[in-house]
Structure 1
Amino acid sequence: MRNNWSIKSKLLTKRLAVLSMSALMVSILAACGGASNPPTAEDAGQYEVTPGDPFSAYKDEVTVTMGRVTTANPKLPSGDTYENNAYTRLVKDSFNAQIKDQFEANGEDYSRQVSLAIASGELPDMMRVDSKDELKELVDNDLIEDMTEVYKQYATDNIKKTYDSYDGRALDNATIDGRLMGLPATSLDSAPTMVWVRQDWLDVLGIKLDADGDGAIKLEDVEKTAEEFLKKDPGQTGKPVGIPFVNTLNTTDYNGSAYTMLGVASTENAFPQYWMKGEDGSIVYGSTTEETKQMLGIMADWFKRGIIDPQFGTRTFDDITALYTNGQSGIAFGPWHIPDWGLSNVKQMDKHAKFTAYTLEDADGKVNVAHANPSGQFIVVRKGYEHPELAIKIINLFYDKLANDKDVETSMPEAAKYLESGVDGSTRPFNIEVNSATSLLDDYSDVVRGIKGEIGLDQVRTTESKNNIESIQTYLKDQDTDDVTAWSKYHSRMNGVGLIDKLTQESKFNWMTPAFSGTTPSMKQTWANLNKLEQESFIKIITGAEPLDYFETFVSNWKKQGGDQVIQEIEAETKTQK
């Protein structure tokens, strides 16, 4: 009967209608005898060797189709693919479950694939969705499994403790009408955005940053250093470039803060793109505040003086990475882990390259940062899939057993080799992270104590930390080593996470808790245009195409073109939640 429907082209552009129609079709098929009621958790147990066991295999091989979120450089060994690699083979060996990828894509391409899958009514058995609104959409149209009971029955104690470390916020984000409808990724606080500076260049030029050693520097320190790099060209390229920034400029995710101006904004206590509570309790959009205007004034001054890349607004993300790789620029804004996947390219080109991480402080010596949304991505299971508990088992396998097994080289040798060689985590069946709220600093503590010999490798909590200790020790023995993994792990953990730990211990952070995350009804129609208005207005101000006072015109247009309506909806929703 499904083939008789001839409305796919319209459905692709009207997603809500698609979902409603998909749900209707399911009902019709059931009425025609073309489908049976989906199995319960108890029914699923009949396929297992030991029903209810978090790690039990299936008696007969089962197949699970997936939508996979990929990355450009997964670092897979030759011959391995996203569908067939050490991690998917581990699932087969552990559960007798064969993974088949229904689609693989990255970024916006992945979002389009998800939309196409929904529009066609052909969802994979499991996939990641990237917003609470998308999760609600699937629930409203009865397209995904209720995971409440299988989570209770199959999640290990460690996985339950991990989610519980967020004081209910993580699971609550995946709960609709009292039912757990997806398995949330976790997003722990990973602030601040850092300023990564070529230390080998500082040494050559005799520049001393951070005289007091607290890890925090002022804007003027960055300005002066950038000017010296431009003037003296320590990369010896003949064409040095100022600090490059992506044209999107801002983000509300510190993990995705590479090449953004989030760090610059923090010095003015500005939080562009965040929803905040004003002094009177009303909802305020951070991109429209006076603090953001001051930040744009700083950026415009930098651009005029050449401190910012003169091609700002036109370079792609890859173009910017190439500037660092080629030695044309030596100051990068980004998260603690940018050495693992971005700055490591610099090391490959220059074996003597070294970076030091700093953060920017305001006039009062505070580092202004925002708390993360504890979960914004969810693994969902197609309604009617026979083995919804398999999603929980995969979570158990990768985020409990593999993460915590102290003898993983023996028990899971192929996976252990992946961890040791730095194969990207996206190659796991689910491209998400499931970590406790304190895991970043807990792991750092293990790494530091392991390097100092205060604990043995058998006492380290996670396999990843064990591998990091060995890599960092390799780097410390020879800082000019050709081992890029050793170089990157030292920089990301000892410099990056080490800075977060130091700032935390010294109470340097001034935290802002966002008032809202997600979307409202009118945002679905207006937000793309509002984002475009914001990006274009900010670029015009920074590049001098418009004066700083043009910011008032931007704010006025933003409000008229839908911003005021969005604020009203957020205020109504937050009142309901309260």
Structure 2
Amino acid sequence: MKTKWSMKSKSLTKCLAVLSMSALMVATLAACGDSSNPPTAEEAGKYEVTPGDPFSAYKDEITVTMGRVTTANPKLPAGDTYENNAYTRLVKDTFNAQITDQFEANGEDYSRQVSLAIASGELPDMMRVDSKDELKELVDNDLIEDLTAIYDQYATDNIKQMYDSYDGRALDNATIDGRLMGLPATSLDSAPTMVWVRQDWLDLLGIQLDVDGDGTISLDEVEKTALEFLKRDPGQSGNPVGIPFVNTLNTTDYNGSAYTMLGVASTEGAFPQYWMNGEEGKIVYGSTTEETKQMLGIMADWFKDGIIDPQFGTRTFDDITALYTNGQSGIAFGPWHIPDWGLISVKQMDKNAKFSAYTLEDADGNVNVAHANPSNQFIVVRKGYEHPELAVKIVNLFYDKLANDKDAAATMPEAAKYQETGVDGSTRPFNIEVNSATSLLDDYSDVVRGIKGEIGLGEVRTTESKNNIGSIKTYLSDMDTDDATAWSKYHSRINGVGLIDKLTKENKFVWMTPTFSGTTSSMKQTWANLTKLEQESFIKIVTGSEPLDYFDTFVSNWKKQGGDQIIQEIEDEVASKQ
């Protein structure tokens, strides 16, 4: 039986036979090769100093065009750009590969650029796609490389261990028909949503939360504290406001849970917007369950009592942040890292501001949380690009070597300086994160031991953790410091991640594993309308313009307008994988 490689070798031999100049060999291999098969280490040896080496440079300079996801404030030093910065220069120095951006964009603009590239078939050599649908479309149209063999040959042991730590959830999500068609970003479990409360206000009013010190509080404690803040206005704003929530209310991403009611939902065992296993193998949409109805009843009571911001439903995200900055509200629902980018503005306005982090427990004292859905961000390689292995090598460089090199300041000084000064991660060639499932708590352990002097900085795993140790030590030496970065790192790591670490060690979490993420064929036509229906229905219930029983009308409409069809498609897809 002929293998694909044996047939390919004969094709290459035939092509090379007509050439008399050895200088044309590289070009001929690229032109005559069967691009449906990724290069083996032997083939890559035509280009690389050491074929198969995860960090091998190319003999002659190569170029790679990119589709780049940017951000509004990358914090790049003067003169540096997305195309020419410490990170792209590191790629050039390490691999002899020059990066050129085919397009740069953010948000919806980036999505449009990707859509145009797919529609025209004129893809950059590498780019990020942000949905499983786009990945499938690229595969269906034979536009991207199969990375299965390339990944096996080139990924470092550390990178493979990182992906494997998700028990298959990460790589499986990028696998179509048994082939790895993209390099997936990873999604850490970063649950739970936390309740961030102004500790300086609690102290001022003589309120003590979490008397038993287990890190959890009840809905009743949140209610009473919110009412006291409204009554006594500890921020002296003259216009105290209840707890603000975004009008979308829900999310399936704990990292994106700022100002959502995901934490409130957990007390009822509700998981809105998640796809879950129901009875007898049936798929259930979390927003349509009885538990979600009970959660909305709690929110409606809160709104009626003023515990929720009276302008709920109309505030923008920036409006909500301003309520905290102005001292009008002192209770915020959000992820462990909200002090780094949201609550830090409170410190900048009020030197005395301090927050404590708690999470909500249910009636049985449990903290109900969901495992993260696999990320729907993938790095793909254009079909026919001569160096598909470069994508894996870039992942090796940034998420293994740079992340774990304890001497990065000496070996990669420019890149290490970027990390130290907080240059945004989007300036790396790939705007994704690749971490092990335990990396958040591993980093926390390093930080705590580093602060205590139990390990030296040379033993700390990542440059980021080294920087955090310095910042937190600055805060601990003067808790009234004007250094907002030191304040934020203490709050996010010691208070935020520290709570996750504590609850993990005490086995307080009750985990739900989502059964599906992504989209189905009918979702493309109906999901936008179903999402609008859900959001508008929930707002009406919370604000009291419709009674709680209106929830049953919502569920009925949701099913009729496409929900039942989507559930059938998900059940079929799940069954096909079993």
Q: Same fold (TM over 0.5)?
A: yes
1:180 shift after superposition: 1.1
Structure 1 residues 35 and 199, CA gap change in structure 2 (3 angstroms): farther
Letter in 2 for 1:223: E
> What is the distance in 1 between the residues matched to 2:393 and 2:378?
15
For 1:108, the equivalent position in structure 2 comes to: 108
For 1:496, the equivalent position in structure 2 comes to: 496
For 2:381, the equivalent position in structure 1 comes to: 381
Residues 313-358 of structure 1, C-alpha deviations (whole Å, 9 max, x = no match) = 1122222222222222221111111112222222222232211111
1:35 shift after superposition: 10
Report if aligned partners of 1:76, 1:423 keep a CA contact under 8 Å in 2.
Answer: yes
Letter in 2 for 1:544: G
> What is the distance in 2 between the residues matched to 1:519 and 1:107?
19
Report if aligned partners of 2:125, 2:381 keep a CA contact under 8 Å in 1.
Answer: yes
Letter in 2 for 1:312: F
Secondary structure at the counterpart of residue 280 of structure 1: helix
Report if aligned partners of 2:38, 2:146 keep a CA contact under 8 Å in 1.
Answer: no
For 1:68, the equivalent position in structure 2 comes to: 68
Of 31, 39, 57, the residue aligned with 1:41 is 39
Report if aligned partners of 2:195, 2:334 keep a CA contact under 8 Å in 1.
Answer: yes
Structure 1 residues 455 and 130, CA gap change in structure 2 (3 angstroms): same
Secondary structure at the counterpart of residue 534 of structure 1: helix
Does 117-126 or 549-558 show the bigger shift?
117-126
**2:87 is aligned with 1:87:** yes
Report if aligned partners of 2:374, 2:517 keep a CA contact under 8 Å in 1.
Answer: no
Secondary structure at the counterpart of residue 432 of structure 2: coil
1:105 shift after superposition: 2.7
Letter in 1 for 2:460: V
Secondary structure at the counterpart of residue 271 of structure 2: coil
Report if aligned partners of 2:124, 2:382 keep a CA contact under 8 Å in 1.
Answer: yes
Secondary structure at the counterpart of residue 280 of structure 2: coil
Does 413-422 or 362-371 show the bigger shift?
413-422
Structure 1 residues 35 and 562, CA gap change in structure 2 (3 angstroms): farther
For 1:213, the equivalent position in structure 2 comes to: 213
Report if aligned partners of 1:44, 1:386 keep a CA contact under 8 Å in 2.
Answer: no
1:108 shift after superposition: 2.9
> What is the distance in 2 between the residues matched to 1:244 and 1:47?
57
Secondary structure at the counterpart of residue 211 of structure 1: coil
Residues 37-80 of structure 1, C-alpha deviations (whole Å, 9 max, x = no match) = 54842444423233222112223332222222223333333333
1:172 shift after superposition: 1.7
Report if aligned partners of 1:145, 1:380 keep a CA contact under 8 Å in 2.
Answer: yes
Report if aligned partners of 2:162, 2:435 keep a CA contact under 8 Å in 1.
Answer: yes
Residues 254-307 of structure 1, C-alpha deviations (whole Å, 9 max, x = no match) = 111111110010011100011112233311111011110111111111112221
> What is the distance in 2 between the residues matched to 1:526 and 1:297?
27
Letter in 2 for 1:169: R
Structure 1 residues 301 and 78, CA gap change in structure 2 (3 angstroms): farther
Does 247-256 or 85-94 show the bigger shift?
85-94
Structure 1 residues 79 and 238, CA gap change in structure 2 (3 angstroms): farther
> What is the distance in 2 between the residues matched to 1:48 and 1:112?
35
1:210 shift after superposition: 0.7
Letter in 1 for 2:393: K
> What is the distance in 1 between the residues matched to 2:525 and 2:60?
47
Secondary structure at the counterpart of residue 47 of structure 1: coil
Residues 153-202 of structure 1, C-alpha deviations (whole Å, 9 max, x = no match) = 21111111111222333212211122111111111211111111111222
Secondary structure at the counterpart of residue 46 of structure 1: coil
Does 341-350 or 557-566 show the bigger shift?
341-350
For 1:22, the equivalent position in structure 2 comes to: none
Report if aligned partners of 1:421, 1:485 keep a CA contact under 8 Å in 2.
Answer: no
Does 431-440 or 266-275 show the bigger shift?
431-440
Structure 1 residues 328 and 288, CA gap change in structure 2 (3 angstroms): same
1:483 shift after superposition: 2.4
Does 39-48 or 308-317 show the bigger shift?
39-48
For 2:165, the equivalent position in structure 1 comes to: 165
> What is the distance in 2 between the residues matched to 1:106 and 1:242?
33
1:36 shift after superposition: 7.8
**2:405 is aligned with 1:411:** no
Letter in 2 for 1:242: G
For 1:234, the equivalent position in structure 2 comes to: 234
> What is the distance in 2 between the residues matched to 1:103 and 1:231?
53
Does 540-549 or 455-464 show the bigger shift?
455-464
How many pairs align? 545
Residues 390-444 of structure 1, C-alpha deviations (whole Å, 9 max, x = no match) = 1111101110011110011111112212212222222211111111111111111
> What is the distance in 2 between the residues matched to 1:329 and 1:134?
41
> What is the distance in 1 between the residues matched to 2:77 and 2:551?
50
1:233 shift after superposition: 2.1
**2:183 is aligned with 1:179:** no
For 2:464, the equivalent position in structure 1 comes to: 464
> What is the TM-score when the length of structure 1 is the normalising length?
0.91
Which sections of structure 1, spanning at least 5 residues, go unmatched? Answer: 1-33
Secondary structure at the counterpart of residue 211 of structure 2: coil
**2:561 is aligned with 1:533:** no
For 1:445, the equivalent position in structure 2 comes to: 445
Report if aligned partners of 2:38, 2:145 keep a CA contact under 8 Å in 1.
Answer: no
> What is the distance in 2 between the residues matched to 1:277 and 1:332?
31
> What is the distance in 2 between the residues matched to 1:204 and 1:511?
37
1:487 shift after superposition: 1.6
> What is the distance in 2 between the residues matched to 1:325 and 1:94?
44
> What is the distance in 2 between the residues matched to 1:365 and 1:78?
52
> What is the distance in 1 between the residues matched to 2:92 and 2:572?
48
Structure 1 residues 134 and 58, CA gap change in structure 2 (3 angstroms): same
> What is the distance in 1 between the residues matched to 2:381 and 2:262?
35
Secondary structure at the counterpart of residue 540 of structure 1: helix
1:477 shift after superposition: 0.9
Structure 1 residues 570 and 50, CA gap change in structure 2 (3 angstroms): same
Residues 69-103 of structure 1, C-alpha deviations (whole Å, 9 max, x = no match) = 22333333333332232222222222222222222
Report if aligned partners of 1:66, 1:99 keep a CA contact under 8 Å in 2.
Answer: yes
1:249 shift after superposition: 0.9
> What is the distance in 2 between the residues matched to 1:83 and 1:348?
33
Q: For the pair shown, which has the larger CA radius of gyration, 1 or 2?
A: 2
Letter in 2 for 1:64: V
**2:278 is aligned with 1:281:** no
Letter in 1 for 2:230: L
> What is the distance in 2 between the residues matched to 1:73 and 1:342?
15
> What is the distance in 1 between the residues matched to 2:48 and 2:482?
47
Which sections of structure 2, spanning at least 5 residues, go unmatched? Answer: 1-30
**2:199 is aligned with 1:199:** yes
Report if aligned partners of 1:199, 1:355 keep a CA contact under 8 Å in 2.
Answer: yes
Q: What aligned pairs does 1:22-41 form with structure 2 within 5 A after superposition? A: 38=35, 40-41=38-39
For 1:28, the equivalent position in structure 2 comes to: none
Could you list the structure 1 runs, at least 4 aligned residues long, displaced by more than 4 angstroms after superposition: 34-37
Report if aligned partners of 1:243, 1:308 keep a CA contact under 8 Å in 2.
Answer: yes
Letter in 2 for 1:375: S
Secondary structure at the counterpart of residue 188 of structure 1: coil
CA RMSD of aligned residues (A): 1.8
Letter in 1 for 2:213: G
For 1:571, the equivalent position in structure 2 comes to: 571
Letter in 1 for 2:39: A
Does 109-118 or 137-146 show the bigger shift?
109-118
